[in-house]
A and B are shown apart, each in its own frame.
Chain A
Amino acid sequence: MSRTTNKPTGLSRRGFMGRASALGLMAGISSVAPLFAAEGVKGGNFVLGLKGGESTNSLDPALALSQVIFALLRATSETLVNVASDGSLELRLAESVEPADGGKTWHFKIRSGVKFHNGDTLTAEDVLMTMQRHSSDDTKSGALGIMRGIESMSVEGDVFTVNLTTANSDLPYLMADYHLVIQPKGGMDDPASGIGTGPYKITENEPGVRHAFEKFDDYWDDSRGHYDSHEILVINDDTARAAALQSGQVHAINLVSPKTARLFGRAPSINIETTSGRGHYVFIMHVNTPPFDNKNLRLALKYAINREEMVEKVLRGYGSVGNDTPINDAYPLFDETIPQRQFDLAKAREYYEASGHDGSPIILRVSDAAFAGALDAAALFQQSAQAAGIPLEIKREPADGYWSEVWNKQPFSASYWSGRAVQDQMYSTAYLSTADWNDTRFNNAEFDAMLLQARGELDVAKRKEIYGRMGRLLNEEGGVINPMFNQFVDGMQSGVQGWVSNPNAELMDGFIASKTWFE
């Protein structure tokens, strides 16, 4: 592999300021001015070849789900804040963020002089209406889950205020969710207009084929949006995407297949960028359904999985081992002292015998729809489990309808989680007993109490300590077997400058078109 760059965030000007804002998360956040990068050559047409687009795609941000619309929203629209590559908050359409009432109320001062592509000026009213659209009773928004804790919202002058039912020190992070891009009048009249405040405005929209953009002349932030024009080509086929990059028809691609990434890296004009993220490939057990209601059986399965081997064979090294929680070191406030569970067949056998399982087959339902290589991972799991005397059986399910018929329905299946910006959001989404997608049916009063306590805790050290205890509890008691975290593997022409890995999502958290330039 010639140039696999996995750059740690150096202490550049941008990085320093980001960190400074992290230190002053509560008090000093409003002091962060927009960051102007000195570099950045203007001009050119930047072409992205992306997997994850369909003819069915809508431009309505509430319905955004796959990679192409994610990248499109990043180019055309903006949220109040972004999460920077070091996990700190970066202010975008909000000029300042201030908590009040111990984190129960949050004030967002809206940046002045920002224009929408249709010529309208951004107001706090637009922000309010956007948030209302995503949280109303009849919304279809993918962000509805994170809007739940909001009691009321209001606007006074250029300040948008959110009142929560309980204190949440992570609320600004939730506002960084990519669905919550600000639309003129909240998108109430035309949600799929594609009009935002972003550096590029949409000129052509052919869902599932291509989306074209041109530079928005009145964009407020000179440090972003260096290209004259931008184009996203939907190339779902892995080989075709790779060929398009090799033949120079596109400048960057997402989801480089790990099988070919190493071959790619040998070509001199192409860089492969790998980014450790928060996405993880998991096997989930319903802890309320026999035989998985038996903690010893769960532990037996957790010890019987060979994590290192899976990272090596399924991810081809593009990833890291998991520890039966959804959290890794890409999250702020990660407790690195939680012991890593090792592959231990003797312990697995011991726990299996202690569980008193009757020896009937334990059925694991799998499809490659769960994650790329899920069938291979399950086969490896089956072999190591059988070596420990556990009768694990694989049932292959059709990819079509996997998410609606198998996941979150069957007691033991393969799944994928893309991770969230902060620990609170991840746990609230899938591990709180009342969570919408509690796909392991985890129901632990102590865990729930700790989660709520941490959410309202403003002392960072104390929060970290609570998250540490929660991680240990889940690692021991939970229904999730997390063998591996995958990396984002992106490919780029070497002429593209300005790459900064961002653990939040692929292609620099989707900002590749906004933050890179041609040399």
Chain B
Amino acid sequence: MSPIVLKLVSQRIALGLMLLLAASALIFAGTQILPGDVAQSILGQTATPEALENLRRELGLNEPALSRYFSWLADALRGDLGTALTNGKDIADSMIGRLGNTLFLAASAAVVSVPLAIFLGLLAVRFRNRWPDKLISAVTLATISVPEFILGYVIMYVVAVKLQWLPSVSILRPGMDFGDKLEAIAMPVIVLTFVVLAHMMRMTRAAILNVMESAYIETAELKGLSAFQTIFRHAMPNAISPIVNVVMLNLAYLVVGVVVVEVVFVYPGMGQYLVDHVAKRDVPVVQASGLVFAAVYIVLNTLADIIAILANPRLRHPK
């Protein structure tokens, strides 16, 4: 790797870390301005004033915010995310399982959807403005337009309730082997694939069509390459940067944005974990989850930048 590339890449990484620090401050500030009171939320409607005061004191909610931010940040850097206020469990421990589930679902959905989207995009370019292109666009745009919970309910009703092919709840039990797990998450994977397909497919199509106007494509055609070879060997590498960006955005979405699908299919992922703790004002968990989500976004986007730099020599020499 040349020094200039190394410099660019390390710049990106440093920028990512700074962003993460800024995000941590924002997350902390955000959790401070949530309305309501953690003690009241834990104890509920039937809490007595004494019980509330006792709990508040025990949770240290009377300390000033700034000192709590720095001690939290220092602990987080050491990998200690603290314990949940509500059930006293270690956050890192409970989160590892949840994060693992989320990544498993996201990875499964990505393995299906990314190649499929790119392939469909290439196909759409190949048959541009003819019926395969129009069919692909119509179907993928239709599935992205339907709210994902409705898509989930429809698939659940047909596949689980009527046909009884797959389980309607995607609960993972210990002792399940890989095949059982794949069966359990089959329905959410289908729904997620439908949700992210259109975005990536459309971007692939647009980016490649853009470079298809270039002179070197004409040259390739004149060389006698087949249409698909031209697209794949010559157009694709030059269009990779916007495609990678969109793919990364969608991967990030698959990790942090799938709470609705998790709820519908009762999948024990990060989204549900975060929402439950927000509802209970369990601030340490909300902060820790926020940090993890921010890290996922930043890492994936940094990765997209780095891939773009490596794939496209022009980005290495900014004017």
Residues of A in contact with B (beta carbons under 8 Å apart): 49, 54-59, 63, 65, 137-142, 144-145, 192, 204, 206-210, 212, 233-237, 239-240, 243-244, 246-250, 400-401, 403-405, 407, 436-437
Contact = CB atoms under 8 A, between A and B. Distances in A.
B61 interface: no
Nearest to A398: B35
A117 to B, nearest CB: 20
Contacts of B45: 403, 407, 437
A386 B266 CA distance: 43
Given A65-B43, A141-B51, A249-B168, 6 more contacts: A56-B277, A56-B282, A139-B54, A244-B168, A400-B35, A405-B36
Nearest to A59: B87
A59 B272 CA distance: 19
Nearest to B101: A209
Nearest to A415: B45
A500 to B, nearest CB: 27
B42 A209 contact: no
A139 B46 CA distance: 14
Contacts of B280: 54, 56
Contacts of B50: 137, 144
A240 B156 contact: yes
A145 B50 CA distance: 10
Interface stretch (B114-122, B159-167, B290-298): B159-167
Nearest to A64: B44
Contacts of B156: 239-240, 243
Interface string B36-63: 1100111111111111001100100000
A140 B54 contact: yes
B167 A405 contact: no
B88 interface: yes
B28 to A, nearest CB: 20
List of 10 A-B pairs having minimum Cβ-Cβ separation, nearest first: A56-B86, A401-B36, A58-B87, A54-B276, A404-B40, A55-B276, A209-B268, A243-B168, A56-B280, A65-B44
A58 B86 contact: yes
B54 A138 contact: yes
A246 B54 contact: no
Given A400-B36, A405-B35, A56 B263 contact: no
A192 B89 CA distance: 10
B224 to A, nearest CB: 56
26 contacts: A54-B276, A54-B279, A55-B94, A55-B273, A55-B276, A56-B282, A56-B285, A58-B87, A59-B87, A139-B51, A140-B54, A142-B43, A144-B48, A144-B50, A206-B97, A208-B273, A234-B266, A236-B263, A240-B169, A240-B265, A244-B168, A247-B161, A401-B36, A403-B45, A436-B49, A437-B46
Interface in B76-129: 84, 86-89, 94, 97-98
B171 interface: yes
Given A56-B87, A144-B48, A400-B279, A210 B171 contact: yes
B147 interface: no
A404 B41 contact: yes
Given A140-B54, A144-B48, A237 B264 contact: yes
A206 B41 CA distance: 20
A213 to B, nearest CB: 13
B272 A55 contact: yes
B3 interface: no
Given A55-B276, A407-B45, A208 B263 contact: no
Contacts of A403: 40-41, 44-45
B157 interface: yes
Contacts of B40: 403-404
A142 B173 CA distance: 32
B36 A404 contact: yes
A207 B276 CA distance: 10
Contacts of A56: 42, 84, 86-87, 276-277, 279-280, 282, 285
B174 interface: yes
Interface in B240-290: 263-266, 268, 272-273, 276-277, 279-280, 282, 285
A139 to B, nearest CB: 7
A207 to B, nearest CB: 6
Contacts of A244: 168-169, 266
B161 A233 contact: no
A418 B96 CA distance: 37
B94 A235 contact: no
B264 A239 contact: yes
Contact of A240 (B54, B164, B266): B266
Given A55-B277, A243-B156, A401-B36, A233 B171 contact: yes
A145 B46 contact: yes
A437 B171 CA distance: 39
Interface in B15-39: 35-37
Given A63-B43, A137-B50, A57 B266 contact: no
A436 B164 contact: no
A366 to B, nearest CB: 16
A436 B51 CA distance: 11
Nearest to B53: A138
Contacts of B157: 243
A204 B46 CA distance: 28
Contacts of B263: 236-237, 240
Contact of A140 (B41, B55, B153): B55
A208 B171 CA distance: 11
Most chain A CB neighbours (cut-off 10 Å) among B51, B58, B153: B51
B51 A140 contact: yes
Contacts of A63: 42-43
Contacts of A208: 268, 272-273, 276
B124 to A, nearest CB: 34
Most chain B CB neighbours (cut-off 10 Å) among A141, A248, A404: A404
Most chain A CB neighbours (cut-off 10 Å) among B84, B169, B276: B169
B157 to A, nearest CB: 7
Nearest to B269: A209
B51 to A, nearest CB: 5
A419 to B, nearest CB: 12
Contacts of B35: 400-401, 405
A278 to B, nearest CB: 15
Contacts of B282: 56
A192 to B, nearest CB: 7
Given A65-B43, A65-B44, A247-B164, A237 B266 contact: yes
Contacts of A407: 45
Contacts of B164: 247-248
Most chain B CB neighbours (cut-off 10 Å) among A140, A233, A235, A437: A140
Contacts of A57: 86-87
Contacts of A141: 51
